[in-house]
A and B are shown apart, each in its own frame.
Chain A
């Protein structure tokens, strides 16, 4: 029992490593690369094909890098994995331009993230481990499926959006994007790094609300999200529910995996909307 045996120094000062500088550096790099990608997309005919992948890799690679910095508490060691994952993301986005099978390369990203994370035992702190209770995986899938199913029923009933059955290259490409970029980077940063970091300080509700709010902001700022009121309201409603649900799963199971599965199930349903 640590309180009984570990040496304790009441007046010890907590050494706070500077987090702000690397976070700012990554954020600036993200913005620069997104701007560069956009510029390439708009201006350069020859390099235009690289513009969109560069933006995607910059955003999701940047989110993963931010999560890595927070997870390691500002300690060095995040740069290598973050750069390798960003490069892999760039490759996956570039391959996805070639078709659905190219998009499938996104599926390698979670494995690569796990492999990179296995060298850092400190990442157990953010839930990079297999849950002790396998039922939490089923619960994650069920929660995401319920929210996704509700989304389909609700939007088809109220807004008249058509729902298509899974299948087809576009659908598979979108799901692969969720697996290797969208859901992965969101769970890694918002549930993994931020929720875990704040959970230690503020307790569950404070951490869940703060990390879910930031996650919502990230989706609402997404320039590719359709700019209509009903889509915005729906995103707020469902992504808030999904974020809180994933936070609860993270706290209950100790692992990021159930929340990740919930996100995948939800987005798999979301991609069935024809409007998308």
Chain B
């Protein structure tokens, strides 16, 4: 293209020389054509060069004319004609450069927005965007750091570049303003002397400020020229980049929030399903548990009413009636407790100093009588201090734990009860019940103290219960200001630890 423009200029000069002085007047304006062509094609440098060349080519033709006639009106016209291609080339080329630069900037801004809105890791997107900005601004190097304070991250930088806490970039990130350097090699604000180069190295650090605050900083280095237009463009792009980063972050947060919400909704739905299943199971179990003693009560009472039964047999029947009535009473008590727990009304406790040892011993005697296959052991640690508890509630806690230990040790085995000061906790007593039963699978442990939960196990499938015992233990322990915990190994047994407050006068 340059060759064509040059050829046109030379051809025009040839035509003028060949045609003589008369042609000069009319044809000289044609020098504008290749000049404007060059300006449109190559911008200000091309336009200026072509205009200059046109001037040089005309000069030997125009100057003798001026020399001959003096500085007449037509001579001035000739001089103006001499300068016109240069001026036109510069103006048109400059306008072309400006519009091209503006178009490039707009294109780059659009690409930046698109790049930041794309899917994928934000760091990678920012690296691409920084590179795009570097190219659009004609910079030699670009560095982009995102984040401020103690955790800035370099997302884009030339190979081997590192961020120093004392650098200009770090200064801007800490809240300083933009940094401009006319020559990085000779700028005395920078330490670590650098060998000078043949061209100035301009430097610019721009803070990336979004409406929500500073999100990072952008560093750019140029070799040679840094025009005011480029500086303005860099500021504009930095502003857009900051907004883009903020938007991308908000989008990420929104997506993360949506995912978390989805997970929570799924978990809650699953939990509701489980609860619904557990309630159905519970109703079935309750029906069964209520029907069994009722059937026994009905059967034995009918026998006693309809037949004459020998006194010995009648006494045995009445014993059965009594134990089934007690069982029915326990079920009703548990159901009442459950009702209180669900309504959020803790049981009114009458705290007193309770001798835990005496209570454990009494319960162990009762359980030992009714469960001869199990070996019950009791090991108080030293002089056991009394606990501050409601006697009935504590009794229910102990009975539930012992009942649980027996129920889930269907083949017998040792049931060990220990009590003593809780290790590491001031004024707390630890009561532990340990069995050698089937244990609890790890997956079931987090839900073991929930209501209606019964861990399925082939060995204990026939065990009776409403799945409320451990929920009651937890509720009662917490009502006392204590807690309950479990350790279990499937196939080896479980250990339940209840923490209860000691009686104040004993500490």
Q: Which of A7, A241, A255 contacts B191 (CB 8 A)?
A: A7
- Report the minimum CB–CB distance from B197 to chain A (whole Å): 6
In the complex, which residue of chain A has the Cβ closest to the Cβ of B141?
A1
A203–B176 CA distance with the chains assembled, in angstroms: 26
Contact: B221 with A121, CB < 8 Å? no
Bound-state Cα–Cα, A200 to B180, Å: 13
Q: Could you say which residues of chain A place their CB within 8 Å of the CB of B182?
A: 200-201
Contact B188 A5 (CB under 8 A): no
8 closest pairs, A vs B, by CB?
Answer: A254-B198, A7-B191, A125-B196, A8-B168, A3-B219, A200-B200, A7-B166, A1-B161
Partner of A5, one of B63, B164, B181, B203: B164
Contact check, A5 vs B199: say whether CB atoms are below 8 A apart: no
Find out whether the CB atom of B199 lies under 8 angstroms from the CB atom of A6.
Answer: no
Binary per-residue interface labels of chain A (110-131) against chain B in the complex, 1 for a CB within 8 Å, 0 otherwise: 0000000000011011110100
A122 to B143, CA, bound (A): 27
Inter-chain CA distance A76–B175, complex, in Å, is 40
CB distance from A70 to the nearest CB of B (A): 13
Checking A5, A122, A150 against B196 with a beta-carbon cut-off of 8 angstroms, the contacting residue is A122
- A219 on the B face (CB < 8 A): no
Q: Report B-chain residues with C-beta under 8 Å of the C-beta of A154.
A: 59-60, 63
Contact of A5 with B167 at beta-carbon distance under 8 Å, contacts A121-B196, A203-B225, A251-B224 already known: yes
B190 in complex: contacting residue of A8, A150, A157, CB < 8 Å: A8
Q: Are A4 and B192 in contact (CB under 8 A)?
A: no
Q: Does A45 contact B (CB under 8 A)?
A: no
A201 to chain B, nearest CB (A): 6
A228 close to B (CB within 8 Å): no
- Chain A 156-192 interface 0/1 with B at a Cβ cutoff of 8 Å (1 = within): 0111000000000000000000000000000000000
On chain A, the residues within 8 Å of B227 by CB distance are 203
Q: Is A28 an interface residue when CB atoms closer than 8 A count as contact? A: no
List the one stretch of A10-18, A85-93, A95-103 in contact with chain B: A10-18
Instruction: Kindly list chain B residues whose C-beta atoms are within 8 Å of the C-beta of A251.
Output: 199, 224-225
Bound complex: CA A9 to CA B224 (Å): 24
- Are A150 and B169 in contact, with the CB atoms below 8 A? no
Q: Which residue of chain B has its CB nearest to the CB of A123?
A: B196
Complex-state Cα separation, A3 to B166, whole angstroms: 10
Interface size on B, residues (CB 8 A): 52
Interface string of B435-461 (1 = CB under 8 A from A): 000000000000000000000000000
Chain B residues with Cβ below 8 Å from A47 are none
Interface centre among A3, A146, A204, A241 (most CB of B within 10 A): A3
Q: With contacts A1-B141, A5-B164, A7-B164 known, what are 6 further pairs, Cβ within 8 A?
A: A2-B221, A4-B145, A4-B164, A5-B167, A6-B168, A254-B197
Of all chain A residues, the one with the shortest Cβ separation from B193 is A6
**Interface status of B184 (Cβ within 8 A of chain A):** yes
Q: Are B179 and A3 in contact (CB under 8 A)?
A: yes
Tell me the bound Cα distance from A204 to B224 in angstroms: 8
CB closest chain-B residue, reference A157: B60
CA distance A9 to B226 in the complex (A): 23
Contacts of A14 in B (CB 8 A): 188-189
- Residue B195 lies at the interface, judged by CB distance under 8 Å to chain A: yes
Contact (A4, B191) CB under 8 Å given A158-B64, A204-B225, A251-B199 = no
Q: Are A158 and B67 in contact (CB under 8 A)?
A: yes
Residue of B nearest to A7 (CB): B191
Q: What are 21 A-B pairs with beta-carbon distances under 8 A?
A: A2-B184, A3-B169, A4-B163, A4-B164, A5-B162, A5-B164, A5-B192, A6-B167, A7-B166, A8-B167, A10-B168, A10-B171, A14-B188, A125-B198, A129-B198, A158-B64, A200-B186, A201-B182, A241-B52, A251-B199, A254-B197
Question: Which residues from chain A contact B163 at a C-beta distance below 8 Å?
Answer: 4-5
Q: Which residues of chain B come closer than 8 Å to A129, judged between CB atoms?
A: 198
Q: Which residues of B contact A146 (CB under 8 A)?
A: 56
Shortest CB–CB separation between residue A5 and chain B, in angstroms? 5
| B198 in contact with A124 (CB, 8 Å) | yes
CB distance from B131 to the nearest CB of A (A): 14
The answer to whether B194 has its CB under 8 Å from any CB of chain A is yes
- When the two chains form their complex, are residues A12 and B188 in contact, meaning their CB atoms are under 8 A apart? yes
B197 touches A124 (CB 8 A): yes
Name the CB-closest residue of A to B204.
A3
Contact among B64, B171, B186, B191 for A157, CB-based, below 8 A = B64
Q: Which residues of A from 126 to 148 have beta carbons under 8 Å from B?
A: 126-127, 129, 146
In the complex the two chains form, what is the Cα distance from A154 to B145 in whole Å?
59
Q: Across the interface, do A1 and B192 meet the contact criterion of CB distance under 8 Å?
A: no
How far is B225's CA from A200's CA once the two chains are assembled, in angstroms? Answer: 9
Q: Mark B57-70, 1 if CB is under 8 A from A, else 0.
A: 00110011001000
CB neighbors of A among B36-72 (8 A) = 52, 56, 59-60, 63-64, 67
Are A10 and B189 in contact, with the CB atoms below 8 A? Answer: yes
A275 within 8 A of B: no
Complex Cα–Cα for A199 and B197 (A): 13
- Contact between B196 and A4, CB atoms less than 8 A apart: no
* B109 interface residue per 8 A CB criterion: no
In the complex, chain B residues whose CB is within 8 Å of the CB of A201: 182
> How long is the Cα–Cα vector from A159 to B68 in the complex, in angstroms?
10
Q: Which residue of A lies closest to B184 (CB)?
A: A2
Rounded to whole angstroms, the CA-CA distance of A203 and B67 in the bound complex is: 38
Contact A7 B190 (CB under 8 A): yes
Docked complex Cα distance between A15 and B158 (Å)? 31
Q: Are B59 and A200 in contact (CB-based, < 8 A)?
A: no
Per-position 1/0 for B220-264, Cβ under 8 A of A? 010011110000000000000000000000000000000000000
A225 on interface, CB distance cutoff 8 Å: no
B205 within 8 A of A: yes
Question: Do A2 and B194 have beta carbons less than 8 Å apart?
Answer: yes
Q: Which residue of A lies closest to B225 (CB)?
A: A204
Q: Across the two chains, which residue of chain B brings its CB closest to A16?
A: B188
Asked if A153 is an interface residue, CB under 8 A from chain B, the answer is yes
In whole Å, how far is B148's beta carbon from the nearest beta carbon of chain A?
Answer: 15
Q: A4 CA to B67 CA in the complex, in Å?
A: 62
With CB as the reference atom, state the residue of chain B lying closest to A129: B198
Could you tell me if A10 and B162 are in contact, using CB atoms closer than 8 angstroms?
no
> Cβ of A150: which chain B residues have Cβ within 8 Å of it?
56, 59-60
Which residues of A lie under 8 Å from residue B192 when comparing CB positions? 2, 5-7
A159 proximity list for chain B (CB < 8 A) = 67
